[in-house]
Every structure is written in structure tokens, then in C-alpha cells.
Amino acid sequence: MNYIITKHPEYFQKIGQYAYCNLEDMVLTDTIAIDTETTGLTARYNDIFCVQIGTGTNNYIVQLYDDNYSFNNVIPYIKDKVLIGHNIKFDLGFFYKYNFFPENVLDTMLASKILYNGDITNMRNDFATVMERELGIIYDKTDQKNIHLVKLSQASTIKYSFNDVDRLIELHTALLKKINAKGYSKTYALHCRFIRALAYMEQCGLPISPDKWKTKMVQDIEATKKWKTRIEEYIYDNIPNLRDNQIDMFNPDLYGKKIHLSIQSPKQMLKVFEFFNIPTKDKEGKDSINENIINKSKHEFVEIWLKFQNAHHRVTTFGNNIYQQIENDRIYTEFNPMVDTARLSSYRGAINFLNFPADEITRSCFVANPGNVMIVSDWSGQETVIAADLSGDDAMTKSVVEGADLHSLLARILFPELALLTDEEIMTEHYEKRKASKAPRFAMQYGGNAYTLHVNEGISMKRATAIEIGFKELHAGLYKWGAEVFKKAVDRGYIESVDGWKLRLPKFEKFLSLRNNVNNITSDDWTLYKIGKIEYKEYMNSREDESIKKEDKYTIKDKEAYNYYKSIKKTVSGYFKLRAEYQRLCLNNPVQTRGAHQLKLAVSLVFEWILKNNLIGKVLICNSPHDEIVLESNLEYAPITRKALEECMIEGGNYYLSNLTIKADANIGNSWYEAK
């Protein structure tokens, strides 16, 4: 039965036939569905105009606008209930305005996102889609766009409002059944706990000094101009045919080292990189001047270009667009509770709170409001601790427990003459050799191989192979664990990380088909394949080499092998490409996902501490980028807040470790940078 709760039933009697009751007449179960309709999407300056409550038997719309009820009148009836919502973070933002902080919330959007993680790229989890997918119910969401304007003034918006809670409990029951059956219950429970804290963090925002940000913007613009000039001068000096020597008769002062191309055009800049013989081909053979492609070259132009790109990025991404969104010395974002690794993100179009540069000029702009301080904590070597804990790798464990320097450990293997030296001696007396181990370590730890090193670092395959062998020898435990994760993943079709969190392997059906085809290749066929591969490369290289005359081009000697190689080339390369992608995921995803769970538990603990100590509004959760929590606290509560933050970080981190423990320190400062 649907009921409207209003002080003015005559208003609705003009619209249609409805049943009415009072707030005290509601018959509510311990678990209720809840939704709100609001005058806009932002709780900071919009409000609730009606709240809908569903029990699975009865549905209630409580009219709140004009001279009707206030949301405060509703709170006593729902404060001890378990609340089910869809994207309940949105509703919580409005509840918090009324000092209503429900203890137990459940979310069908979170359940859907967890349940189908990695299933389909950009899979939709909006209310209408989830309802149709799980219960086969099709809801018309047309009124969603205009309900904030027309409110409950027409039959369609009233029906729409009832629909939002009518079958919501049934939807949650269906999703929860699948969640429990597939082992997601622990990660779902954590995310329902975390969403309360995330809603608070979203409303707190991040303090910022408009003046400091403006100064930073000017410096970024000047840096961009400086590096733009350097690029244009370099091209002018080295590529004569791109010089523009025409004098502008109206602006003779502009005459200088001008060029005939736009450095903002990737297509035009490709010609420049090709002129300097800087590799621009990606793995697919397509031209690109992205950083991860061109930084394989040691050419000095690459360094100049990347400095320009970095400065330009700071202007376009961390410049005026953020300045224009400052509200009362704060900025805000809209958080996406999870991506495929369970990490937090910012929704597209919102300020990316999780990607601010860590340099002094940027983070010094985030200054606590008067009377407040910033308190920041992060974990020491979070991903290394997690990887060591999961794999039992001796070298990583030694690094965590004894403080051994991982770069020095690898340097001893790559450079035998360092074998008897201490970490300190290597770091102070053999800086370049230690530095030479950094890039290979990062590449190999996250699924790279000798070929990756050969391409990315521009070193010979012989040396790259030696580095790969040395790294695998040093981290035998990591590779043994990774192989076990990979075997389970390809047997199941997904990687299981922590608390039941799963990531479905992309293109898994295709992988199974390719693997079956590759496994059916006989040893004789592999021999034929290898011969054909040599023939194919010789032939293609000859065709592409313009210095070789047509009559001298390579002639295929073994056509059978050549044709066989061509016939299965895509199958073999497709299989090994997906296999390598899975192996990288199996090393990375369990570590990143466990790290995300650590952070979400720590943030939840901080929020619960704030609630317990009646510090809402006095201690603000401002940001939580990856392995870090950023708070703003009233100066009076700073000492106890710093201590509590440290304890929450350590408790949240250690909860997800089995053999090791993790360290975290919290610091106080006037800005994010000072507190870091």
C-alpha cells in the first residue's frame, strides 16, 4: 500500500486518488528502504523536499517542502533502522546536514559493482539498470531529470518517487543472495561501512588558499612558456626546413626563432620525433608521442618535451579550472567508491582529488582554515609490505623487517663487484649503479620481462635477460606466489584478492579459445612456425628498407613455413599477449586491492572515532589518496586527532596482513605539504 504523509492532503487530492497517514502511523520493519528527492545534486546548498520509505509491504512519501514536515521530524522513526539505499552516499550527504548519522546502511549500487567487477567495461549500475538486470522490472526514469523542479506536483513524479523504494528491499535480497553465494560478503560489509565515511569526506572538502593557488598558476604558466620556447628553439636550430623566417611587419618585435608547426598538434610533432629518430611506435605498431613511448629514448629532446608536457598538464588540469571551483576557501569532488582494484577514484568531470602532484608548490596551497591545522598520515612502503606478506619473498621481507634497501639488493646482483658492500656504501659511493637498478625493479615487480626492459630502457636484450634472471633469483618467492595466483586465476576466470573481492579476467572466453588453439600446435608445427617467423621478418624488413633495390629484395625460401606462420601469427601473439596481461594483473591486483581495503578500513575507523568523540565539523576528513589520509582539525583537538589517526592507520593496515606489520606516522602542519 502506498501512503502520502503531508500536512496538506488537499494539495494531492487535486492530482489523484491517494491514501494518507501520519508519521506515527507508519509500520516500519527493522530494515527499511530509503530514498530522497532533493532540490539539486549538491547537499551543501540544496535540500530534501521529500523522503521515501519502503518496508516491502507499505511505501511512504513524506512531504517536506513548504510548510510541511522537516526531515528532523522523520529522524526519530528511522534512526535505529538498517537503511537500504541505491547510491546511498548521495542521501547520506543530505542526512549529515541534519546531524543524522545512521549506523547501519546497505547499498544496492555497491552490491552490484562488487558482484560484477570486471564483467563488462563501463557496465552500468544505475537504479533502473540494476532493477531490470536483477528483477526484470523496467522503471521509467524520465521524471528523474525534472523532479527537482516540479517536485510532487504531478502524478508521474509521485509514482516515480514511490517506485524508488517499492521493490528496493527485494532487490537487495536478490543481490545479497548472490553476494553470499559467491563469497563477497566481507568486502561488501566493508564497503557499506566505508560509504558512511566517504559521504562525510565528500561533504568536508579540501581547504585551499585561493591566493597561493593563483600564484602557483602564474608560475605554471611561466614554466609552460619557458619550455615551449625551448622546444621551438631546439626545433629551429636542428630542423632547418621547419624554420619560419618571415618578419611580421606589424609586430617586428615578435621576430625570433619561429617555426612552421604547432607543438600542440601530436600529428605535426610526430614528424619532429621521427626526424630525431626517437621511437614513436606503441605495442600495436601505432604512432604515439605519449610519455611511456618516447621516454624509451635517451635523446635530449625527449627531456625538454616531457618538461613542457608536465608544465602544460599542470596548467590545464591543476590550474584555472580548479580555481573557479573554490567555494569559501575549499574545493569539493564527487567520489566513485571503487574501481576494478577496489581503489577510490573521482568521477569523470569532478576534481581529481587523488592525483594532485606531491610537490611543495602544489600541496602548500592546501592550507588549513584559520584556527585549524592539517594532519596527514601514510603507510611506510605499503605495497612492498603487502607483497612481502602475501608472497613470503625473502628479499622483500628482509626489506620490511630489517630495513634492507631493495635497490641495493638488486644492484649487488646486477653488479657483482658490489656484493660485499653495505647498503649505505652502495647508496653513497655507487649512486649510479644503485640508480640503474631502480627502473628494472619497478618494471619487473609489476609483471615486466627482459623484452620490457629492452624496449623501455633501451638496453641490449643480452643485458635485459641478465637483469631478468637476476631479479627472478632475488625475488624467487614473489614469482612463485605470482605463478600460483595466475594458475588459480586462469582455472577460475577471475583473480580473488581479499575479503572475497574478485576481478574477472578481461576477454577470458577469447583467452580460452586461443589457449586451446595454441595447445593443439604440435612440436613439428612449432618448428615450422619458428622457421616461418624468420622468413617473415626477413621479408618484411627487406620490403620496408627503402635503401634496398626492388630486384634485391628478400625472396621467401620456405613458403610453407612462411604461410604457416602467417596463418597462426595472430592466434599465437594474441594468446601470449593476454597471458602476459593476466600475469601482470596477478602480481598487481591482489596487492593494490589489499591496499585499497586497508585504506577503506582506516578511513572508516577515523570516521567512527570522530563520531564517537562528538567531533563532527571539528575534525574533517579531507582526502584519502591511495595510501594516505588527510585531515583538518581544530587546533584544540589536534594532539588527540594525530594520535587517533596513527592508531587507525596501523589498525586498518595490520588487519589485512598475516605475517608482517606496517608502520604509519601522522604529522601536523599548516598545509598538506607541511604535515606530510
d(CA 440, CA 306): 21
Residue 204 grid cell: 568536508
Given a cut of 90, is residue 376 above it in pLDDT? Answer: yes
Cβ–Cβ under 8 Å, residues 494 and 590: no
Residue 95 grid cell: 542526512
Of 284 and 308, the one with more pLDDT? 308
Categorize the per-residue pLDDT at 254 as very low, low, confident or very high, splitting at 50, 70 and 90.
very low
The candidate with the shortest Cα–Cα distance to 301, out of 235, 223, 221, is 235
Cβ–Cβ under 8 Å, residues 530 and 626: no
Residue 552 grid cell: 634485391
Mean per-residue pLDDT, 617-638: 97
Mean per-residue pLDDT, 315-325: 94
Given a cut of 70, is residue 250 above it in pLDDT? Answer: no
DSSP string, 124-149: --SHHHHHHHHH------GGGGTHHH
Mean per-residue pLDDT, 49-53: 97
Cβ–Cβ under 8 Å, residues 637 and 664: no
Bridge partners (DSSP) listed for residue 51: 36, 62
Cβ–Cβ under 8 Å, residues 3 and 61: yes
C-alpha dihedral, 402 to 403 to 404 to 406, nearest 10°: 130
Give the list of residues 6+ apart from residue 174 with CB closer than 8 angstroms, or none: 134, 135
d(CA 57, CA 27): 9
Categorize the per-residue pLDDT at 257 as very low, low, confident or very high, splitting at 50, 70 and 90.
confident
The candidate with the shortest Cα–Cα distance to 362, out of 408, 325, 397, 315, is 315
* Residue extents of the structural domains in the chain: 2-182, 210-325, 345-383+595-675, 385-568
Of 248 and 610, the one with more pLDDT? 610
DSSP string, 426-454: HHHH-HHHHHHHHHHHHHHHTT--HHHHH
The candidate with the shortest Cα–Cα distance to 33, out of 163, 156, 196, is 163
485 to 145, 391, 471: CA distances (angstroms): 46, 10, 19
Given a cut of 60, is residue 258 above it in pLDDT? Answer: yes
- Based on C-alpha coordinates, what's the Rg of the chain? 30
3-state class of 69 per DSSP? coil
% of the chain beyond a pLDDT of 90: 71
Categorize the per-residue pLDDT at 552 as very low, low, confident or very high, splitting at 50, 70 and 90.
low
Cβ–Cβ under 8 Å, residues 415 and 426: no
Given a cut of 80, is residue 136 above it in pLDDT? Answer: yes
Given a cut of 80, is residue 543 above it in pLDDT? Answer: no
d(CA 670, CA 385): 30
- C-alpha atoms less than 13 angstroms from C-alpha of 467 in its C-beta half-sphere: 27
Geometric angle at alpha carbon 630, from 624 and 636, rounded to 5°: 150
How is residue 299 annotated by DSSP? -
Q: Which sign does the torsion angle of CA 311, 315, 319, 321 carry? A: negative
Least confident of 364-368, 469-473, 547-551, 553-557: 547-551
504 to 314, 394, 584: CA distances (angstroms): 35, 30, 14
Mean per-residue pLDDT, 530-546: 82
Neighbours of 313 (CB within 10 A): 14
Residue 115 grid cell: 558482484
CATH 3.30.420.10 at 2-182, yes or no: yes
Given a cut of 90, is residue 7 above it in pLDDT? Answer: yes
The predicted pLDDT at position 568 comes to: 95
Given a cut of 50, is residue 146 above it in pLDDT? Answer: yes
Of 59 and 148, the one with more pLDDT? 59
Give the list of residues 6+ apart from residue 595 with CB closer than 8 angstroms, or none: 343, 382, 383, 386, 626, 627
Neighbours of 451 (CB within 10 A): 13
d(CA 85, CA 33): 6
d(CA 525, CA 537): 18
Residue 160 grid cell: 516515480
The candidate with the shortest Cα–Cα distance to 578, out of 507, 650, 645, is 507
The candidate with the shortest Cα–Cα distance to 31, out of 185, 198, 168, is 168
416: enclosing H helix or E strand: none
How is residue 505 annotated by DSSP? P
Least confident of 287-296, 319-328, 593-602: 287-296
Do the bridges between strand 31-38 and strand 82-85 make them parallel or antiparallel, or are there none, so unpaired?
A: parallel
Mean per-residue pLDDT, 336-360: 94
d(CA 516, CA 605): 48
Superfamily per CATH, domain 385-568: 5' to 3' exonuclease, C-terminal subdomain (1.10.150.20)
DSSP string, 554-605: ---S-HHHHHHHHHHHHHHHHHHHHHHHHHHHHHHHHHHHHHHHHHHHHHHH
The candidate with the shortest Cα–Cα distance to 78, out of 32, 12, 132, 40, is 32
The predicted pLDDT at position 247 comes to: 53
Mean per-residue pLDDT, 475-499: 95
Do the bridges between strand 335-336 and strand 243-244 make them parallel or antiparallel, or are there none, so unpaired?
A: unpaired
Categorize the per-residue pLDDT at 277 as very low, low, confident or very high, splitting at 50, 70 and 90.
confident
3-state class of 279 per DSSP? coil
156: enclosing H helix or E strand: helix 155-166
Q: Tens of pLDDT along 490-521?
A: 999 999 999 999 999 999 999 999 999 999 99
Geometric angle at alpha carbon 41, from 122 and 622, rounded to 5°: 80
The candidate with the shortest Cα–Cα distance to 458, out of 278, 222, 638, 632, is 278
Mean per-residue pLDDT, 45-73: 95
Given a cut of 90, is residue 550 above it in pLDDT? Answer: no
Least confident of 226-240, 269-283, 622-636: 269-283
Cβ–Cβ under 8 Å, residues 35 and 164: yes
Helix (H) and strand (E) counts in the chain: 28, 19
Q: Tens of pLDDT along 100-119?
A: 999 999 999 999 999 999 88
How is residue 24 annotated by DSSP? G
d(CA 444, CA 456): 12
Q: Tens of pLDDT along 157-198?
A: 999 999 999 999 999 999 999 999 999 999 999 999 999 999
DSSP string, 317-362: HTTHHHHTT--SSEE---EES--TTS--EEPTTS--GGG---SHHH
Cβ–Cβ under 8 Å, residues 80 and 174: no
Given a cut of 80, is residue 49 above it in pLDDT? Answer: yes
Of 368 and 428, the one with more pLDDT? 368
3-state class of 398 per DSSP? helix
Query: End-to-end CA distance of the chain, in Å?
Result: 56
Categorize the per-residue pLDDT at 246 as very low, low, confident or very high, splitting at 50, 70 and 90.
low
CATH 3.30.70.370 at 345-383+595-675, yes or no: yes
d(CA 140, CA 136): 13
Residue 675 identity: A
Mean per-residue pLDDT, 9-38: 96
Q: Tens of pLDDT along 585-623?
A: 999 999 999 999 999 999 999 999 999 999 999 999 999
Given a cut of 50, is residue 249 above it in pLDDT? Answer: no
